[in-house]
Amino acid sequence: MTNSSLTTRYEYGGDEFVFVQLSEAMSLEANFKGMAITRKLKERNLEGIIDICPSNASYMVRVDPDILHPDELIRELKVIEDSIEGLDIEISSRIVDVPVLFEDPWTHEAVMRFRDRHQDPDSTDLEYSARINGYNSKEEFIQAIDASPFIVSMIGFVPGLPWCFQIVRQEKQIEVPKYVRPRTFTPERTFGFGGAFAVIYPVQGAGGYQMYGIAPAPIYQKEQTLPDFQDSIVFPKQGDIFRYRSITREEYDGIRAEVEAGTFIYRKKDITFTPQEVLENPEKFSDMVLRRLYHD
């Protein structure tokens, strides 16, 4: 069901930016609303708009104020928002199988190196996250991640990093804090979790999310040698539905060999859905997504 308590706030960012907050808290409804507004704004192709940047529960638009005054843009945005009342829209997207090797040796080494920056130095990130979310074991916790797909709610922080919000009811959302102090090292393709968001780190670098495993396939490739990267150096798109699937070391090594040979292609299916399908019955929608991805 839709949440009538969502309130929209419009703010100026200097002369060139309009920032719009749709909700103070992240929710599937807020994300769908932002996705719908920014897609409709792009379709209108208004002269003077330089860039549109959707986020988890907000979005920002850059304009040329000599062509389109920010006040005129805000009036247009309010018209668009009114037009999608009830979220009676269709979203065209992709379902993607994203393999993950949990408890791999590379992220585990990083996990152990930075225990002094963690809330619980005596536990691994997986053990700590399982415990604070009420699971009896890290295996149960991994199964909860594996069981329901995630929607890519935004792309950002570093190029290509997908923020992913699990398609489950609010009370079942996994939530974990970031490290007390950021790490100076995170392996490339680390699968991590922070707040209510799962991510894959596209490149090696600093980070503060809990580390659970590693993806064998890239989500960012500047060389664009793999088939999935022919049109863009970044694979994820806002609105994609990722199924993070736990794999064995043997499957991991096999996929890495395909990546190095330049033949790896993500398993994916196109899908069209409405936000109401997700919001009214996320379990039914998730089951449909998994059937379509693996059996249709």
Q: What's the pLDDT tens digit per position in 201-260? A: 999 999 999 999 999 999 999 999 999 999 999 999 999 999 999 999 999 999 999 999
Q: What's the pLDDT tens digit per position in 35-52? A: 899 999 999 999 999 999
Domain residues for the domain of 104 are 92-294
pLDDT at 2: 45
Q: Supply φ then ψ for residue 41, to 5 degrees.
A: -65, -40
Q: What is the separation, in whole angstroms, between the first and last Cα of the chain?
A: 28
**Average confidence (pLDDT) per 10 residues, the chain, 296 residues:** 66 94 89 91 94 92 95 95 82 96 97 96 97 97 97 89 94 95 97 96 96 98 96 94 98 98 97 92 95 90
Angle (deg, nearest 10), helices 125-132 and 138-147: 80
End position of a domain, from candidates 66, 86, 106: 86
Nearest to 162 by CA among 190, 189, 126, 198: 198
- What single DSSP character describes residue 124? -
Same domain assignment for residues 70 and 154 = no
Domain total for the chain? 2
pTM of whole model > 0.85?
yes
pLDDT at 4: 45
Output the CA angle 131-134-135, nearest 5 degrees. 75
Same domain assignment for residues 160 and 239 = yes
User: Hey, what are 152's tokens?
Assistant: 């890519």
Same domain assignment for residues 20 and 153 = no
pLDDT at 88: 75
User: Hey, what are 250's tokens?
Assistant: 């043997």
Q: Is residue 106 assigned to a domain?
A: yes
CB atoms within 10 A of CB 43: 9
* Rounded alpha-carbon distances, angstroms, from residue 171 to 5, 122, 133, 168: 18, 28, 11, 8
